[in-house]
Amino acid sequence: MPSPIRLSTALGLAFALAAASPLAAAPASAGKAAPADARSWTLDKTASRLRFRSAFAGTAFEGGFSRFDAQINFDPKNLAGSRAVVTVDLASAATGDADRDQTLPTADWFNTAKFPRATFTSTAIRDLGGGRYQASGNLSLKGVTKPVTLPFTLQIQGNTARMNGQVVINRSQFGVGQGQFAGADTIPHEVTVTIAVLARAR
């Protein structure tokens, strides 16, 4: 049976998280020069994960995306110059159930023939203290763009950064799950996306 998602970064959507990691930029004020870009980071794709959780007829299941990428600039001392764009290959979604996984790319679900990718673009970030942040951005999925706010934790040691976040997204807002699955009786509208990112400074 089909399964909804919630992204990137990364990240993941994108979502989510991701997504990989949503690192944002505050808009420049009128009459002021745009801030310099923050430090650039490269996503370690083999060590990063973008997962989602949902349920079918009351039975929980998990899945993930095996292909995603992120363009990341981040410095905790330069949040105005920090930003990320996380791209997820929707055709890489898998849950371990052959029937469900064959259905995910279809028009009722991700419609990957027409919308092959989901994208998270950061817009703002807040430092909540203690290594905790809250990133805001726009998630584009299946031709629909909606604002998403992702709380996450971040640890930077030397040239290595580790980010973990979780967000709940309503699949119905993006038209994911049509026909008999448009309602929430069989599959909940809310899907939980978890993001674990390892990135290295360039």
pLDDT in tens, 160-201: 999 999 999 999 999 999 999 999 999 999 999 999 999 999
Q: Which of 146, 118, 112 is nearest to 20 (CA)?
A: 118
The first and second tokens of residue 149, run together, are 């706010």
CATH 2.40.128.110 assigned to domain 11-201? The reply is yes
What is the C-alpha to C-alpha distance for residues 7 and 140, in angstroms, rounded to an integer?
Answer: 9
pLDDT at 29: 46
Question: In whole numbers, what is the pLDDT of the chain averaged over residues?
Answer: 86
This prediction has a pTM of 0.81
> CB under 8 Å to 38, separation ≥6 — which residues?
23, 73, 74, 75, 78, 79, 81, 82, 83
Q: Which amino acid is at 185?
A: D
Confidence at 34, pLDDT banded by 50, 70, 90: low
pLDDT at 36: 83
Residue 183: beta bridge partners? none
Give residue limits of the domains in the chain.
Answer: 11-201
φ/ψ (deg, to 5) at 114: -100, -35
pLDDT in tens, 47-93: 999 999 999 999 999 999 999 999 899 999 999 999 888 999 999 99
Q: Which of 198, 202, 189 is nearest to 18 (CA)?
A: 198
Q: Which of 136, 1, 120 is nearest to 56 (CA)?
A: 1
φ/ψ (deg, to 5) at 113: -65, -35
Percent of the chain with pLDDT over 70: 83
